[in-house]
Chain A
Amino acid sequence: MKKLSARIAGIAIAFALPLSLVAPASAAPAAVTLTVWTYGNVIEPQAITDYKKLHPEITIQLKKSGLDAHHQSLITSFLANKTPDIAAIEVSYSGYFRSYPQYFTDLRQAPYNSASIEKNYLDWRWDQGVGYEGTVFGIPTDVGGMQVAYRPDLFKAHGLPSTRDAVGKLWPTWNAFIATGQKYQKNLTKAEKTSCTKKKVCYGFIDNAGTIYNAVLNQGTKKYYENDNTKDGKLVYGSNSQVKAAFQTTATALGSGIGTNINSFTNDWNVGMNKGIFATILAPAWMMDYIKQQAPKTKGKWDIASLPGGGGNLGGSQLSIPKSAVHKKEAWDFMSWYLSPEEQLSIFKQYGLFPSTSVLYNDPALKDFKDPFFNNAPVGQIYGSSVQTLKPIYEGKKQRAIDNIIGQALSRVGLKKQSAASAWTQAMNEIKSAVGPSK
Chain B
Amino acid sequence: MNLLTNPALLITILVGLGILAWLVVHYRDKSRWRKVSPWSYLVLCFMIVVSAFPFYWMYIVASNGNEEISKNPPTLVPGPRFMTLIGHVFEAAPTFGLSIWNTVVVGTLISVAQVVFSALAGFAFAKLNFRGRKFLVLFVIGTMMLPSQLGIIPLFMIVNNLGWGSTLSAIVVPALVTAFGVFWMRQIIDAQVPNELLEAASIDGAGVIRVFRSVVMPIIAQSSFVLGLFAFLGTWNDFLWPLLVLNDPNQFTVQVAVNQLSASYTVDYALMLGGAFLATAPLLLLFVLVGRQLVSGVMDGAVKG
Contact = CB atoms under 8 A, between A and B. Distances in A.
Nearest to A74: B247
Contacts of A290: 265
B267 A76 contact: no
B260 A65 contact: yes
Nearest to B156: A79
Interface in A39-76: 39-40, 61, 63-66, 69, 73-74, 76
Interface in A381-436: none
B266 interface: yes
Contact of A77 (B244, B247, B266): B247
B6 interface: no
A74 B165 CA distance: 12
Interface string A261-281: 000011101110000000000
Given A63-B249, A73-B247, A79 B160 contact: yes
A14 interface: no
Residue among B156, B166, B264, B269 with max Cβ neighbours from chain A (10 Å)? B166
Nearest to A293: B265
Contacts of A271: 70
Contact of A82 (B70, B167, B260, B269): B167
A80 interface: yes
Closest 6 CB pairs of A and B: A80-B165, A73-B247, A80-B166, A82-B166, A65-B263, A265-B265
B196 interface: no
B214 interface: no
Nearest to A35: B248
Interface residues of A, number: 25
B258 interface: no
B245 interface: yes
B248 A76 contact: no
B262 interface: yes
A69 B165 contact: no
Interface string A28-43: 0000000100011000
A81 interface: yes
B266 A267 contact: yes
Contacts of B70: 267, 271
Interface string B239-251: 0000011011100
Contact of A76 (B163, B166, B249, B266): B166
A201 B19 CA distance: 39
Contacts of B244: 76
B266 A269 contact: yes
Contacts of A267: 70, 266-267, 269
A76 B247 contact: yes
A49 to B, nearest CB: 14
A27 B163 CA distance: 35
16 contacts: A35-B248, A39-B263, A40-B265, A65-B263, A66-B263, A76-B165, A76-B247, A77-B166, A77-B247, A79-B157, A79-B165, A81-B163, A265-B265, A267-B269, A270-B266, A271-B70
Nearest to A70: B263
A38 to B, nearest CB: 10
